[in-house]
Structure 1
Amino acid sequence: MPQTEAPAPAPRTEAAPRTRLRWWTEVPLILLVYGCYTAGRLLVRGDVSGAVDHGLSILRLEKVLRLNFEHPLNRLFTREPWLGVPADFWYASLHYVVTPIILVWLFRSRAALYRTARTWLMTSTFIGLIGFTLLPTCPPRLLSPDHGFVDTMAHYSSYGWWGGDASAPRGMGGMTNQYAAMPSLHVGWALWCGVMLWRHGGTRWTKAAGVAYPLLTTLVVMGTANHYFLDAVAGVAVMGVGLLLGPVVTRSVDRARAVLAARVPALAGRPGGDISPIVSGGCQTSAGERIPRQRETRLGSPAEPGASSQDAEDGAPAPAR
C-alpha cells in the first residue's frame, strides 16, 4: 500500500514574553521613588516667603468659598487631647506604614493587579513632587498665631516621638521640608489605599476600612493644622491624574524594555538561537558530540514523531520503524 505522508504540524507561535516581578527588583524601585519623594520635598524648603504667600492665598480662597473647615477641627483637636493625640500619631505614622503594607499584600496575594496599582501610586507621587516644586505652601500650623491655628504636633509633642517639625522625629527636623503642603499626599496615598481595600479586600471589614481610612486621614491632616482643605482636594486630583496616566506609563516602560531586550537578548531570557540547551550556555561540545542525558528543545517545533521519552532523555535517535 502506498504510504501517505503525515500532515505537517501547524507552526506554533511563540507566546509573548511576560514580565515577572521579583521582590528584589521591586524593593529598590520603591526605595528609589521614595528617595525622589524626599528629595523633592527638600528641594524648595528655603522659599519661606513664597510658601507663606501661597498658604495665605489658599486660606483666603477657602474663606470666600466657605470651605474653611480647618479652624473648627483644629480648635477641637487642641481642646480635646483624646482626639488630638491619636490624630498626631495617625499623621506621623500611618502614612508610612499602611501604604507599604498594602503594597506587600498586593504583591503577594494579587500579583496580577500589583503592577497596575504600583504604577498608579508612583505616577501620582511624581506628579505631587511637581506640585511641591512649583507651589511651595506654608501649612496652617506655621502661619503666624493671629491666624488662629495651633500646631497640635508641637502642642502634644511630649506624647510622641516627634518634635516641633511636622512628623519628623526629634532632632531630624532639618531633614524635612515643612512647606510641601500642596498637594496633600497624605490624603492621596490614603485614597489609593482605600481604593485597594475596597476593590480587592473581599470582606465587609476591608471595604469599610477602605472608606474610613481616607476620610479620617482628611480630617486628621486638617485638624492637626498640617494641611488646608484645598490641599486635600489637590491630593485627590493628583491621584486621579495618576490613574489616567498609569496605563501610558506602563506602555512606555514596556516599549523601552522591548527595545532594550532586542538589543541585549539575554535580558529577554532568549540566548539568541533556536536551540536552547538545558545545560549552561558556557558548556560547549564539538560538532556532533552530545553530553549524556543532555536534553534539547527546539522553540517553535514539536518533538520528532516516533521518539520515545527515554530516547529523548538519552539523546539517542529513535529506531527505524
Structure 2
Amino acid sequence: MTDRQKPTRWWAELLLLGLVYGAYTGGRLLARGDVHLAVGHGLAILRAEEVLGIDLERPLNRLFSHQGLLGIPADFVYASLHYLVTPAVLVWLYLRRPQQYRSARTWLVVSTLLGLVGFTLMPTCPPRLLDSVYGFTDTMAQYSAYGWWGAEASAPRGLGGLTNQYAAMPSLHVGWALWCGVLLWRYGRHPLLRGLGVAYPAVTTLVVMGTANHYFLDAAAGAAVMAAGYAIARRLPARTARFRSKTTIVSGGWDTSARELLPAQRPAPEDDSAAAAR
C-alpha cells in the first residue's frame, strides 16, 4: 500500500528515530579512535586543501574570532540549530507531506549511518583542536561565557566526555542541513520556506568552518554522504517490495487504525448525501 493509503504511526516513527539517534550517538563515542591518527588525518586534509587553494576555513575563522558580532551568533547556530531544525522538518513532513515523509526519513537515516561509517574509518581532528601554530582559534571556547557550552565543542558544560570531538569527517551538520534545505525547497509552498531551504545549508557551511569545527572538505564530504544516502534510499522501496512479494504477510491486527492517526492525517468524513447516492 502507498503512504497515502496507510499512514505511519507517530509513536512508531518516534521510537524508530530515537533508536537510530541513540545508535548514532553511541556509535560516535565508540568510534573515537586514536588521537594521534585523528590529528594526522586532520593535517592531511588541511595540506590537501592548501595545495588545492580551498582552505576557506582559515580566513573565516579569523573573521569569526576577531568579530564577536559574527562569532557569537555562529556559535549559537552551531550548538543548537543542528538539533532543532532537523526534527522540526521531520515533524512538518509528517503532518503536511505524509506522502513524502517515509522516503525523506529513510534518506536521513541511511545517510546518518553512512556518516557513522566515515567517523569509524577516518577519525579526524577538527581545525580547532590542532596546535595553535596552524592558526586556528576555537571560537566555542573563546565565546563560551555567552552560551551553555564549555570548551569541548557544543556539549553543555561538564558533559564534554559524552561527545566524540574527533568525528569531523564527514560533517553531518552540513549533511543534515542540506537534507533540510532540499526538502524545504522542494515541498515548501511559501517563498519564505523555500528561501530558508537555500539559506540554512549555506549558513551552516559557513558556520562550521568559521567556528573551526570542520574543514571545507568535511563539508563537501557531508554533502557527498547525503547524495549517497539518497541514491541508496531510492532503491530500498523496490527491493523491499520484491522481498515482500516472496513472503506471506499476515497483518495480525497491525494495520494502522484511525485512532492512531493525528487529526491532520485522518481522512475527511464522507458526505452523507454522496454515500446515499451510491
Q: String of CA shifts for 1:290-316, please: whole Å, max 9, x gaps.
A: xxxxxxxxxxxxxxxxxxx9xxxxxxx
Displacement of 1:47 after TM fit?
Answer: 1.3
- 1:205–1:20 Cα change, 3 Å: closer
Displacement of 1:44 after TM fit?
Answer: 2.1
Between stretches 32-41 and 176-185, larger displacement belongs to 32-41
| Partner in structure 1 of residue 189 of structure 2 | 202
Quick check: 2:140–2:153 contact (8 Å CA) kept in 1?
yes
- Does residue 51 in structure 1 map to residue 38 in structure 2? yes
| Partner in structure 2 of residue 148 of structure 1 | 135
- Does residue 218 in structure 1 map to residue 205 in structure 2? yes
Quick check: 2:7–2:98 contact (8 Å CA) kept in 1?
no
- Does residue 158 in structure 1 map to residue 145 in structure 2? yes
Quick check: 2:141–2:150 contact (8 Å CA) kept in 1?
yes
| Partner in structure 2 of residue 167 of structure 1 | 154
Question: Which of 224, 227, 230 is 2:214 aligned to?
Answer: 227
Identity %: 61
| Partner in structure 1 of residue 51 of structure 2 | 64
Between stretches 245-254 and 217-226, larger displacement belongs to 245-254
Displacement of 1:20 after TM fit?
Answer: 2.8
Matched pairs, number: 255
Q: String of CA shifts for 1:165-224, please: whole Å, max 9, x gaps.
A: 100000100000000000000000000100111111112111111111000000000000
| Partner in structure 2 of residue 282 of structure 1 | none
Displacement of 1:252 after TM fit?
Answer: 3.9
Displacement of 1:249 after TM fit?
Answer: 2.5
| Partner in structure 1 of residue 93 of structure 2 | 106
List runs of 5+ in structure 2 lacking aligned partners.
256-275
Quick check: 1:127–1:242 contact (8 Å CA) kept in 2?
yes
User: Which secondary structure state, in structure 2, belongs to the residue aligned with residue 266 of structure 1?
Assistant: coil
Give the 5 Å matches for 1:264-275. Answer: 264-266=250-252, 269=255
The one-letter code matched in structure 2 to 1:59 is L
The one-letter code matched in structure 2 to 1:51 is A
Quick check: 1:198–1:210 contact (8 Å CA) kept in 2?
yes
The one-letter code matched in structure 2 to 1:99 is T
Inter-partner Cα distance in structure 2 for 1:59 and 1:104: 38
Displacement of 1:40 after TM fit?
Answer: 1.7
Displacement of 1:256 after TM fit?
Answer: 5.4
Inter-partner Cα distance in structure 1 for 2:6 and 2:246: 14
| Partner in structure 1 of residue 126 of structure 2 | 139
The one-letter code matched in structure 1 to 2:230 is L
User: Which secondary structure state, in structure 1, belongs to the residue aligned with residue 169 of structure 2?
Assistant: coil
Q: Which protein has the bigger helix share?
A: 2
Question: Which of 60, 64, 75 is 1:88 aligned to?
Answer: 75
Between stretches 242-251 and 125-134, larger displacement belongs to 242-251
| Partner in structure 1 of residue 264 of structure 2 | none
Displacement of 1:156 after TM fit?
Answer: 0.3
Quick check: 2:46–2:215 contact (8 Å CA) kept in 1?
yes
Higher RCO (CA 8 Å, separation ≥ 6 residues): 2
Quick check: 2:33–2:123 contact (8 Å CA) kept in 1?
no
User: Which secondary structure state, in structure 1, belongs to the residue aligned with residue 73 of structure 2?
Assistant: helix
- 1:263–1:110 Cα change, 3 Å: closer
- 1:93–1:264 Cα change, 3 Å: same
List runs of 5+ in structure 1 lacking aligned partners.
1-14, 270-308, 310-321
| Partner in structure 1 of residue 110 of structure 2 | 123
- 1:94–1:257 Cα change, 3 Å: farther
Q: String of CA shifts for 1:74-102, please: whole Å, max 9, x gaps.
A: 00000000100000000000000000000
Q: String of CA shifts for 1:89-120, please: whole Å, max 9, x gaps.
A: 00000000000000000000000010111111
Displacement of 1:157 after TM fit?
Answer: 0.3
Quick check: 1:58–1:230 contact (8 Å CA) kept in 2?
yes
- 1:257–1:267 Cα change, 3 Å: farther
The one-letter code matched in structure 1 to 2:227 is G
**Length-normalised TM-score, structure 2:** 0.87
The one-letter code matched in structure 1 to 2:85 is V
Inter-partner Cα distance in structure 1 for 2:19 and 2:184: 25
Displacement of 1:255 after TM fit?
Answer: 5.2
- 1:23–1:94 Cα change, 3 Å: same
- 1:231–1:115 Cα change, 3 Å: same
Say what the alpha-carbon RMSD is for the aligned residues. 1.9
The one-letter code matched in structure 2 to 1:211 is V
